[in-house]
Amino acid sequence: MVTTHNLGFPRIGKKRELKFALEKYWRGEITKNDLLETASTLRQEHWQNQSKLDFIPAGDFSFYDQLLDASFMLGNLPKRVQGLSGDNLDNYFRVARGRASADETECSCIQAGEMTKWFDTNYHYIVPEFDKNTQFSLDASRLLEQIDEAKQQGINAKPVIIGPVSYLWLGKSKDETNKLDLLDNLVIVYGLLFKKLQEVGIEWVQIDEPILVMELSQEWQHALRKAYYTLQSTPLKLLLTTYFGELQENLQLACNLPIDGLHIDAINAKDEVAKVVDWLPCHKVLSLGIINGRNIWKTDLTQTLKWLEPFHQQLQDRLWLAPSCSLLHVPVDLDSEQKLDSEIKSWLAFAIQKLDELNTVAKALNDGSHTVADKLAENAAAIDSRKQSNRVHNKDVKNRVLEITDEMGKRHSSYELRADLQRKKFNLPLYPTTTIGSFPQTSQIRQARRDFRTGKLSEMAYHEVMQSEIQHCVKVQEELELDVFVHGEPERNDMVEYFGEQLTGYTFTQFGWVQSYGSRCVKPPIIYGDISRPTAMTVDWINYAQSLTDKPMKGMLTGPVTILNWSFVRDDQARSETCQQLALAIRDEVLDLEKAGITIIQIDEAALREGLPLRKSQWKYYLDWAVQSFRITANGVKDETQIHTHMCYSEFNDIIESIADMDADVITIETSRSDMELLDVFDQFHYPNEIGPGVYDIHSPNIPLVDSMVNLMKKATQRIPAERLWINPDCGLKTRNWDEVKPALVNMVKASKILNETRCL
Ligand code: GLN
Ligand code: ZN
């Protein structure tokens, strides 16, 4: 018999119940007991959703983040919250978000823990903090309560725990402490934890060591051996769990650690499965993650069964089946979707449907395919419909991609020649000022967009509201005397959705929420088919804005790589190909803007970095096609047309060559918080084009001072000649209000003037 299990279930709830409860609790609108009750109801519901599985995860539920839960379980609280009033949950929220609850004022000074991306997903975890005084101690109460709760509901719980070595790897040393020096103490605490789990009758524990899919130095490989050899005396059975990628050079290590079973991602590491089956000692269980936990497509069950058959033959009872990774990264329930096109809906599976697929495969193996014939037939029909559908496949789009040439990604002339032409044409001062695109999205704007969507506002009336917003933005920019204007993006709720809604091949869900961090969720749109752009998407708005001023108005677009990285993408073609289709669609828009007389066009690539593969050895391949997609989008324009791009992060030292390779005339980036440290990279690397290092931190309500901006720019001028520098905020201004934005930009323009004056002296 094969065994089924799950690695983790989305905790946020079908209707984002956890989000709303948390936010109400933080605002002081519900009590702690209300919050705990919502959590318990959700856990119960989620266990019910998984009840057909042999083992069901426990401890995967979290009020904010599972790594933060682990830090609390291991007694690793930052010093700054120790000794404060309240209970554990108060401290938990202090580390998560800087304060415990609404009535917390004495503590508003507490710095929240740093947040960072969980591997290559869009989930963000709270980074464990270490220093030379770090001592671990066990507090398993949260986990034990959840296990107890599961037991009372008759659930066969398998606790889910981050492994000690990955825990250290994912954390950050706040002083010079070598994280691995903490391992011995940490492993002792894991030993105690296992003892506790055994005492409450637990049989299997899922212990996640996802770092096994990364490039590890010998020290870290050794740490894995040391940890698991030390823990091998535990009477519990350990299922060592990896996901998101291939084990590669860590394969033998993973197979040979003294554990009782190994889980691998049989989607992303499909080609390694045969090798693992060979290598794995025959007393160990092998869990194959056969259902993709990172996308929303139905699994081809017939094909999966065919592929599994020989492994099943070989492994028999030692074969376990699961999704490839925790289902945290997919929406909860497809059945909630009432508005999705029925054909497209028939191709999709969210968390609950994915578990159903898993059960079907297991039953087919255990009891014979005939026992699930209906399900298999239904699945085969859906898979076939998706393969054949002409809503997915568009010959013209595919042919256009085939006809892409290198020439399409190249400007006619070099940057130097272009810059010369552009200087003459725009006649901008040194340190020209601009903004990144959006201006404050007031409640009035949001209301108008909502009313238009629900039909309360006619198209004409909606256009009028938007046009008057644009007028307002232009007027403010005139008053501020900025050099290059933007229209302010009032018509966009989101920089991907706005474009997705106007492209073919895209669809949107009502409840397809995925946790991004804490109570925050995102609803990635779904690319289901070949992408094309039936009509211009932004030209009317930009044209209208340009008609109101003599200053250059930037056309404002989202780039192909960012659109790709913030969507659920197709699994039936390479990401790079989908990206090329997007590139061609946005290229058409660029050329239409140019035709309409727009002379500066900004193509945001906010998420270029997010697509970097887990292993550095694969970075080049990704960067090559990503940069080429950008170049196809941007570089069909005349030499006089100025291309800008924007990225909202400051770590790009390690990808600076690729960024230069994009060949945008101007790039605006985030730098203000890092005090221009980012520009250190220019000591070694000669960045050839123009750059606007953000001097105004838009994530803070503070108004930046003239002097501080002048100083930042002076620092920048030490690295990059003044002729190639721009002054701008870090990012778009949509989350700020006008009272913050206006004085900040007044100061920014003043800073530019001062820099120009001192230059002329
Ligand atoms: N143009 C977008 C804006 O200003 C860019 C947003 C972003 O980089 N995240 O809002
Ligand atoms: Zn940005």
pLDDT (tens digit, 9 = 90+) per residue, 553-580? 999 999 999 999 999 999 999 999 999 9
Q: Which DSSP category does 698 fall into?
A: T
Nearest residue (by CA) to ligand 1, atom 4, is 732
DSSP, residue by residue, 223-272: HHHHHHHHHTT-SSEEEEE--SS--GGGHHHHHHSS-SEEEEETTTTGGG
Order the strands of the 285-291 sheet from edge to edge.
Answer: 3-4, 319-323, 285-291, 261-265, 237-241, 204-208, 157-162, 56-58
- Nearest atom (ligand 1) to Cα of 437: 4
Which of 313, 310, 273, 314 is closest to 290 using CA atoms? Answer: 273
C-alpha span between 147 and 240 (Å, rounded): 20
C-alpha span between 758 and 388 (Å, rounded): 66
Using the mean position of ligand 2's atoms as its centre, give its distance from the Cα of residue 269 in Å. 34
Quick one: pLDDT at residue 109? 60
Quick one: pLDDT at residue 650? 67
Quick one: pLDDT at residue 675? 76
- Nearest atom (ligand 1) to Cα of 648: 8
Using the mean position of ligand 2's atoms as its centre, give its distance from the Cα of residue 670 in Å. 7
**CB environment 513-534: b (16+ within 10 A), e (fewer):** bbbbbbbebebbbbbbbbbbbe
The residues carrying an active-site annotation are: 699
Q: Is the pLDDT of residue 105 over 70?
A: no
Identify the nearest ligand to the CA of 604 by its number. Answer: 1
Q: CA distances (Å), 200 to each of 123, 143, 190, 653, in order?
A: 31, 11, 16, 50
- Looking at residues 1-14, what average pLDDT do you find? 98
Beta partners for 265?
289
Instruction: Tell if the pTM clears 0.85, that is, is over it.
Output: yes
- pLDDT band (50, 70, 90) for residue 759: confident
Q: Is the pLDDT of residue 251 over 70?
A: yes
Q: Is the pLDDT of residue 651 over 80?
A: no
- pLDDT band (50, 70, 90) for residue 760: low
- Looking at residues 170-197, what average pLDDT do you find? 97
674 or 736, higher pLDDT: 736
Using the mean position of ligand 2's atoms as its centre, give its distance from the Cα of residue 279 in Å. 47
User: Cβ distance 480 to 529 under 8 Å?
Assistant: no
Identify the nearest ligand to the CA of 435 by its number. Answer: 1
Pocket of ligand 1 (CB under 6 A): 436-438, 489, 495, 556, 604, 606, 646, 648, 731-732, 734
| CB < 8 Å & 24+ apart, contacts of 391-395 | 391/343, 391/344, 391/528, 391/529, 392/505, 392/528, 392/529, 392/530, 392/572, 393/529, 393/530, 394/504, 394/505, 394/529, 394/530, 394/532
The answer for 405, left when phi > 0, alpha when psi is -120 to 50, beta otherwise, is: beta
Query: Would you tell me the crossing angle of helices 141-152 and 32-49 to the nearest 10 degrees?
Result: 50
Q: What is the mean pLDDT of the chain?
A: 96
- Looking at residues 261-267, what average pLDDT do you find? 98
pLDDT tens readout for residues 666-717: 999 988 777 777 788 888 888 999 999 999 999 888 999 999 999 999 999 9
**Percent of the chain's residues with pLDDT above 90:** 91
pLDDT tens readout for residues 192-218: 999 999 999 999 999 999 999 999 999
Quick one: pLDDT at residue 684? 85
Using the mean position of ligand 2's atoms as its centre, give its distance from the Cα of residue 433 in Å. 16
Q: Is the pLDDT of residue 761 over 60?
A: no
Quick one: pLDDT at residue 253? 98
Quick one: pLDDT at residue 353? 98
- Looking at residues 611-630, what average pLDDT do you find? 97
Q: Which of 477, 489, 557 to mutate to test the pocket of ligand 1 (most atoms within 8 A of CB)?
A: 489
Q: Is the pLDDT of residue 107 over 60?
A: no
pLDDT tens readout for residues 59-99: 999 999 999 999 999 999 998 888 888 889 999 999 998 88
pLDDT tens readout for residues 17-41: 999 999 999 999 999 999 999 999 9
pLDDT tens readout for residues 485-518: 999 999 998 999 999 999 999 999 999 999 999 9
Q: Is the pLDDT of residue 392 over 70?
A: yes
Quick one: pLDDT at residue 84? 85
pLDDT tens readout for residues 577-594: 999 999 999 999 999 999
Q: CA distances (Å), 94 to each of 77, 86, 465, in order?
A: 10, 11, 41
